[in-house]
Chains A and B, each alone.
Chain A
Amino acid sequence: MNYIFHPLTLVTFFPLLGALVILFLKPEQKNPARWIALVTSLVTLGISIAILVQFKPADPNLQMVIDRPWIQVAGWNISYHMGVDGLSILLLLLTTGLTSLSILSTWTAIEDRVKDFMFFFLLLEVGMAGVFLAQDLFLFYVFWEFTLVPMYFLIGIWGGPQRMYAAIKFFLYTMAGSVLMLLAILWLGIQGGTFSLPELVANNHIPAGVQFWLFLAFAAAFAIKVPMWPLHSWLPDAHVEAPTAGSVILAGVLLKMGTYGFLRFNLALFPSAAVQLAPWMAGLAVVGILYGAAVSYAQKDVKKLVAYSSVSHLGFVMLGLFALNPQGIQGGILQMVNHGLSTGALFLIVGMIYERRHTRDMNAFGGLWKVMPIYGALTLVVTLSSMGLPGLNGFVGEFTILLGAWDAGQSGGVIGSYWFAGLAAGGVILAAVYMLFMFQKLFLGPVDKEENRQLKDLNWREITTLAPLLVFIFWIGLYPKPFFNLMAPSVDKLVMLLQNAALAMR
């Protein structure tokens, strides 16, 4: 029975327990629902920290592995196969941490159908944790698709005016990519006789031509999720219409499922296709960086601005991953975490002001610093983090990525041109432009709108929601070494695989 009380099972399915308890509450029992959800998510966070404590950073392989037969009939080899390694441990912690903070942030923002909201939120946590831990392709696909369902309800029921459109668009877009991945998974399962990822990676004899198509099928699912330009058009709708907590999770964790998918599946399963396609992927990433930044600058709605900035930031992550070298990939993983922290915080910040003023139009604000100094100060830190100021987390991630991309840009490197890193560096400057522009519109200048004079500064609950994010923003910015240490051995192992593939292609 040890697979049931295994930490990885617990961290994945404990939220389900909370969700089932909430199901038995009455609709008017709002506070009990909130407390049960919060306590459940905190316990889950505790379990994930316990996993971190047990985690051995020096070991590049999967740790705490569970491998139980699940469906093993008639040539099917599907297992309940879970494991954690340096590629996923930080994302697991990000998931559990952001879920707790998001639930805390809904305390007064969600008043309608609280019970249902908390139910779906905890279900979502099950799906997300499962995506990062699953080591069996079938199991992974189950978790991957499952996350759509609660998110669809979160956007569709508690979202803004265009919520139904946004919810369906989100669902259909994501599913469009996933079904292609499903066929690729089936193909791998039929050829390899197993759906176990480590086994498929170990006995990888897929011919290069087939790898190319399988890579594209997986990439379809992941690129939509990331989202990579030009497949990003679901993102602004979903982000803007989703309730604050939904946006935080969407940006903080769900998008990372896409980049993580590239890392875990595309790079490991199809290394030669990855080497072959790296310039294309890096090129799309750079376009995304610049496009996202340019469009962000044009936004009047703060939430939309933050949404488009995600396209730009995730472009950096993709550029890092497809540099296919240790710096690039490590920077990419760290930047996934950074984006979760800073964009998560930005969505929380937007949500806080929206709760007070019921508008997100930049022109409705001005001089907020004088009215809400704590809010202003916290926002400033997050803004600077998001634009990559040295000393804060964003800089470390982006700088490492650019180093990696520069390195891979040497002649004979996988992406073969310095232009990628050069143009991406331009994106850092653009980020400073639109982020500072937003900050200036909101916080500086005179308080020229009557409605803004009476706004209350943040309360203790709101400060508590933001504080942990700020701690990590500073921590990663000043001393990132422990974070890199966690992932370095696993990344090196993956890079070895890719280098062998690159050598074999010459």
Chain B
Amino acid sequence: MTIMELYAISPLLVLAGWATLLVLVDLFIPRQRKGLTALLAAIGLALAMGFSISQFGHQISAFQGKIVVDGFAVFLSTLFLSSGLLGIAVAYDYLKRMGIERSEYYTLLLFSISGMLLMTMAADLIVVFIALELLSIPLYVLAGFARPRLDSEEAALKYFLLGAFAGGFVVYGIALVFGATGSTALSGIVAAVEADSVNLALLTVGAALILVGLGFKVAAVPFHMWTPDVYQGAPTAVTAFMAVGAKAGGFAALLRVFMLAFPALASSLAPVLWGLATLTMILGNFAAITQSNIKRLLAYSSIAHAGYILMAVVTFGQGKAAADAVAAALFYLAAYAFTSFGAWAVVITLEQAENKGLELQDYAGLGRKYPALAAAMAIFMLSFTGVPPTLGFVGKFYLFRSVLEGGYLSLALIGVLTSLVSAYYYLRVVVIMYMHDGEPEISAAGWLKFTAGFTALATIILGLFASPLFDWASQAVLKLL
């Protein structure tokens, strides 16, 4: 183990180590002062982010090629660590208000993010699987964090069962890939394919099973069934984190594994991905129309956005177009992360004890009574829809461009038309906030206001001045080291 190898995994080491220490330190923090735990967790995330950003521009291959640190890893690691910070910001007040302030929340969050960091650098299917479990298991616990509330327990169980099921798919897929190629390393798989010493049918089935497992994680149709229930039942702060972290984690694996290891399978798997993306966009958006609960609405919206990002994966076998698609997917994930966290922060601000304040009608009159909060929510809804000058628009523009470059006009057409459908339900939130009369109640704490305000500003300003983020995403080219 060289210094360079340690440096490659330094963000992960720092974070996982910090989380372990935090479990111990937390024992000595009095019950009334759990804010300190939150602060310490945030410091851990910031430290890890420092290490991660310092790796910018590096190309490191470590541990016999099982770990790769490149632009892709750095971009996504930074995204995950920022989501962690936002996840703490939205949770701090929420946990107190709901009477579930247990400091395990923060340590579990850190462990889950450790899994995500590992996922960004995984260049071996075994590592992918370990990362997947590491990011998922803390999330199963977190989903049930509002115990003994029944719906939270139900969410945890559902998420756990389906997650374990999905994990099984991934493992079996990995086994078949290994059987077909004799390697679990991404480079090994490619080498075996190039040497023409593979059982292509077995490899295809293996890759398809991995796709199914990861499809569960990113909530792609038809593997999305758990999403609305889990998103609704889990404590909202956990949902906010899950909607960004778990999804982006799944996509990190999907993008790297498919783009690097399986380009040879494009002819058989691209149509499958095409179908998944199409179904996900259509079903996610249409199902969202009928929702009257904001958590379910955002759950279906998150399914729909998984569909958009899946469009980028469809081009995985096409070299230049695929490279652009990776950058577009990363940019879109960042745009989605900001917008989604902002929207969930507003939801948390309006949520009252015992699941009150979660119906769309509870937002009536928000525009008049709390104009800043309503304006922020309106910005998030417009960004989700993809209306300029928001970050969501630039993200969609980038994504559709890469899809067109890949030659998938039909997919782009379905994408824009379903965006039109999504405008209907996103605008309904705006209509209710601004055009219905009501007396909404909020419990605005400083950090929630900060999160909503910060992400709203970021959504607009990064939308207008997207160059730096573009630049950064476009350097995240995936290649074998």
Q: Does B413 contact A (CB under 8 A)?
A: yes
- Check: B172 CB closer than 8 A to any chain A CB: no
Q: Is A4 an interface residue (CB 8 A)?
A: no
Determine the distance from Cα of A73 to Cα of B371 in the docked complex, in whole angstroms: 37
Interface residues as binary, A74-100 with B (CB distance below 8 Å gives 1, 0 otherwise): 111000000000000000000000000
Q: Is A145 an interface residue (CB 8 A)?
A: yes
Q: Is B82 an interface residue (CB 8 A)?
A: no
Interface size class of A (residues with CB under 8 A): 35 or more
| B389 at interface, CB cutoff 8 A | yes
Distance between B473 CB and nearest chain A CB, rounded to angstroms? 8
Interface residue from B368, B404, B420, B471 paired with A187 (Cβ < 8 Å): B404
B419 surroundings in chain A (CB, below 8 A)? 179
Q: Tell whether, in the assembled complex, residue B424 and residue A176 are in contact, meaning their CB atoms are under 8 Å apart.
A: no
7 A-B pairs with the lowest CB-CB distances in the bound complex, closest first: A74-B474, A179-B416, A142-B388, A73-B470, A73-B471, A145-B388, A156-B435
**B380 interface residue, CB < 8 Å from A?**
no
**Residue-by-residue, is A309-351 near B (CB-CB < 8 Å gives 1, otherwise 0)?**
0000000000000000000000000000000000000000000
A171 touches B427 (CB 8 A): yes
Do B474 and A179 have beta carbons less than 8 Å apart?
A: no
Known: A149-B382, A171-B423. A74 touches B470 (CB 8 A): yes
Q: Are A156 and B434 in contact (CB under 8 A)?
A: yes
Chain B residues numbered 380-399 whose CB sits less than 8 Å from any CB in chain A: 382, 387-389, 393, 397
Q: Provide a sorted-by-A list of 17 A–B residue pairs whose CB atoms are within 8 angstroms.
A: A73-B467, A73-B470, A73-B471, A73-B474, A74-B324, A74-B327, A142-B389, A145-B393, A148-B387, A168-B424, A171-B423, A172-B423, A179-B419, A183-B404, A186-B401, A186-B404, A190-B404
Contact of A183 among B368, B416, B428, B467 (CB under 8 A): B416
User: What chain A residues lie within 8 Å of B431 (beta carbons)?
Assistant: 156, 164, 167-168
Contacts of B423-445 to chain A: CB distance below 8 A: 423-424, 427-428, 430-431, 434-435
Interface of B is mostly: helix
The answer on a CB contact under 8 Å between B420 and A72 is: no
7 further A-B contacts with Cβ under 8 Å, apart from A141-B388, A142-B393, A168-B431, are A74-B474, A164-B431, A168-B424, A172-B424, A179-B416, A179-B419, A186-B412
Chain B's closest residue to A168 (CB) is B427
Query: With A183-B400, A190-B404 in contact, do A76 and B470 touch (Cβ < 8 Å)?
Result: yes
B371, closest chain A residue (CB)? A116
Interchain CB contact under 8 A, A189 and B401: yes
B423 touches A186 (CB 8 A): no
Residue from the set B389, B430, B435, B466 with the largest chain A CB neighbour count within 10 Å: B435
A449 at the interface (CB under 8 A from B): no
Q: Of A149, A164, A189, which is within 8 A of B435 by CB?
A: A164
Measured CA separation A299–B194 after assembly (Å):
74
Taking the complex as formed, is B417 at the interface, i.e. its CB lies under 8 A from any CB of chain A? yes
Q: Does B405 contact A (CB under 8 A)?
A: yes
For B435, the chain A residues whose CB sits under 8 A away are: 156-157, 163-164, 167
A70 to B368, CA, bound (A): 36
Q: How far is the CA of A340 from the CA of B412 in the complex (A)?
A: 36
Asked if A362 is an interface residue, CB under 8 A from chain B, the answer is: no
Contact in complex: A179, B420 (CB < 8 Å): yes
In the complex, are the beta carbons of A183 and B412 less than 8 A apart?
yes
Interface string of A405-437 (1 = CB under 8 A from B): 000000000000000000000000000000000
* Complex CA distance for A168 and B428, rounded to whole angstroms: 8
Interface residues on B, range: 35 or more
Residues of chain A within 8 A (CB-CB) of B413 are: 183
Chain A nearest CB from B448 CB (Å) reads: 21
Query: Within the assembled complex, what's the spacing in Å between the Cα atoms of A148 and B388?
Result: 10
Q: How many A-B residue pairs have CB under 8 A?
A: 85
What 1/0 mask marks residues of chain A from 135 to 156 whose CB sits below 8 Å from any chain B CB? 0001001110110110011001
Given contacts A157-B434, A168-B431, contact A182 B400 (CB under 8 A): yes
Task: Say what secondary structure dominates the interface of chain A.
Answer: helix
A225 to B419, CA, bound (A): 19
Q: Which residues of B contact A (CB under 8 A)?
A: 324, 327, 367-368, 371, 382, 387-389, 393, 397, 400-401, 404-405, 409, 412-413, 416-417, 419-420, 423-424, 427-428, 430-431, 434-435, 466-467, 470-471, 474
CA distance A183 to B416 in the complex (A): 8
Whole-angstrom distance between the Cβ of A38 and the nearest chain B Cβ: 22
A210 to chain B, nearest CB (A): 12
Q: Nearest chain-A residue to B385 (Cβ)?
A: A175
Chain A residues in 8 Å Cβ range of B467: 70-73
On chain A, the residues within 8 Å of B371 by CB distance are 116
Which of A113, A172, A175, A180 has the most B CB atoms < 10 Å from its CB? A175
Kindly provide the distance from the CB of B391 to the nearest chain A CB, expressed in whole angstroms: 12
B388 and A146 within 8 A (CB): yes
State in angstroms the CA–CA spacing of A74 and B468 once bound together.
Answer: 12
A175 to B416, CA, bound (A): 10
A150 to B329 CA separation, bound complex (whole angstroms): 30
- Please tell me if the beta carbons of A180 and B416 are within 8 angstroms of each other in the complex: yes
Q: Which of B387, B409, B417, B424 has the most CB of A within 10 A?
A: B387
Task: Kindly identify, within residues 176 to 209 of chain A, every residue whose CB is under 8 Å from any CB belonging to chain B.
Answer: 176, 179-180, 182-183, 186-187, 189-190
Q: Chain A residues near B474 (CB, 8 Å)?
A: 73-74
Q: Which of B368, B416, B428 has the most CB of A within 10 A?
A: B416
* CB pair B420 A176 closer than 8 Å: yes
* Distance between Cα atoms of A112 and B76 in the complex (Å): 46
CA distance A138 to B412 in the complex (A): 17
Nearest chain-A residue to B471 (Cβ)?
A73
| Nearest residue, chain B, Cβ from A143 | B388
Measured between C-beta atoms, what is the minimum distance from B214 to chain A in Å?
26
Closest to A155 in B: B435
Residues of chain A from 293 to 310 with CB closer than 8 A to chain B in the complex: none
**B327 / chain A contacts, CB cutoff of 8 Å:** 74
Complex formed: what's the CA distance from A73 to B405 in Å? 16
Which residues of B are found within 8 Å of A157, using beta-carbon distances? 367, 434-435
Give CA–CA (A189, B398) in the complex, Å: 11
Closest to A173 in B: B420
Interface residues in A208-249 by Cβ distance below 8 A to B read none
**Known A71-B467, A74-B470, A168-B431: A175·B401 in contact at CB below 8 Å:** no
With most chain B CB atoms within 10 A of its CB, the pick from A71, A72, A156, A157 is A71
Min CB distance A69 to B, Å, is 9
Give the Cβ gap from A184 to chain B, nearest Cβ, in Å: 10
The smallest beta-carbon distance between A26 and chain B, in angstroms, is 11
Q: How far is the CA of A143 from the CA of B464 in the complex (A)?
A: 12
Point out the residues of chain A lying under 8 angstroms from B471, CB to CB.
Answer: 73-74
**Minimal beta-carbon separation of A142 from chain B (angstroms):** 4
Q: How far is the CB of A187 from chain B (nearest CB, A)?
A: 6
Instruction: Give min CB distance, B106 to chain A, whole Å.
Output: 36
